[in-house]
Amino acid sequence: MERLQKVLAQAGVASRRKCEEIITAGRVQVNGETVKELGVKVDPKTDVILVDGQAINREKHVYVLFNKPKGVISSVTDPGGRQVVTDYMKGIPERVYPVGRLDYETEGLLLLTNDGEFANLLTHPKHHVPRTYHATVKGVPHGSILEKLQSGVKLEDGMTAPAEADYHDVSPDNSSAVISITIYEGRNRQVRRMFEAVHYPVERLKRVRFGQLTLGGLPRGKHRFLTPDEVAELRDLALRSHNIQKNGK
């Protein structure tokens, strides 16, 4: 027997947190009875579980690495009719959705999956999975600016956690620079807001690493499946980083 929200997440309905909202909204039925309470346990092998009247899928889990182009929404649908990342997943029969988000103007490495537990593990605030970006800015920030980014900057939602920041490239005429920055939290538009706070707005932003994963020459707009070893390494990284934070080591 497993908690209902966990079963829904594992079936690819949504992240566990979103599944909890779906349950409390009265959208889930178990064996013909509407369930609104969290913590109810079910047997995924024998119980009939419906979400909005549709039986949940018991499909295999898939894990996708996608090189997201600029100008694509990190969502499965868009009311405005704009292009979304799942438009690039037509050859995948499973219903996948993004792990976290890259904003409309940001390109680069994005993970998609139908494994809600996996998605929750990587995006939960207590798990500090590193994400590395290349931020192109106008001009060349002084070393003191990078030190501010490294130690944390004040945003409207509080101080950022310590980050890693260094020069990745500088134009010959010093008119622009590419800064490599690694963060360990996932606030909305965090990298862009950090650079705005130090008065070097980002002109181009690309995520180049998530945990141990890199794009590895994957063309823009293309995807590949993660190997079982890559999935296991990501799980281990998330759990290990949580234990390090908890134990203060």
Q: What residue type is 46 in one-letter code?
A: T
Residue 142's Cβ-count burial label (10 Å; 0-12, 13-18, 19+) is: exposed
Residue 48 in contact with residue 32, Cβ under 8 Å?
Answer: yes
Q: Which of 103, 169, 229, 236 is catalytic?
A: 103
How far apart are alpha carbons 10 and 131 in whole angstroms?
24
Q: Is residue 115 flagged as an active site residue?
A: no
Rounded to the nearest 10°, the torsion over CA 68, 74, 79, 83 is 10
How far is residue 79 from each of residues 76, 82, 84, 145, measured CA to CA in Å?
10, 8, 11, 39
Q: Backbone dihedral region of 233: left (phi > 0), alpha (psi from -120 to 50 degrees) or beta?
A: alpha
Distance from chain centroid for Cα 106: 13
Q: Which residues are catalytic?
A: 103
